Structure 1
């Protein structure tokens, strides 16, 4: 297992632990932190292990961050309908 995959596994465990802790802002600050760490991590995994493994890690990250992805999809849809 490469170092990038070990880092991705640690990210997943960190995301699960952060999701279990109580929060006043509905976990948004933690989501921004996880996104900031996760995006370069997905690039690193893709670079070292190839696009299929990179897409699997991306899907795992998106499953943890499903609400930010849902809001992003809604925002993109609004931009397309306006334009």
Structure 2
């Protein structure tokens, strides 16, 4: 199974929503995750999960690692990275 990852710094516009990100990933078969350190704790959530995205509480300037696993992992990873690096 193909696995790829990329570190990015969150830089999103105020009008962007996590719902857009989650919906945009639905056509992809790959599992996509975001990881970040928050107050000394390591958090990892599934990007296709609305609840997961709410709990990770991302802010501009946060350093995150995006990882994807599956047949179309590279495409899903790049779509996710583009969302955060606007």
Normalising by structure 2, we get a TM-score of 0.30
Pick the structure with greater CA Rg.
1
Structure with the bigger percentage of strand: 2
Greater RCO (CA < 8 Å, at least 6 residues apart) = 2
Normalising by structure 1, we get a TM-score of 0.30
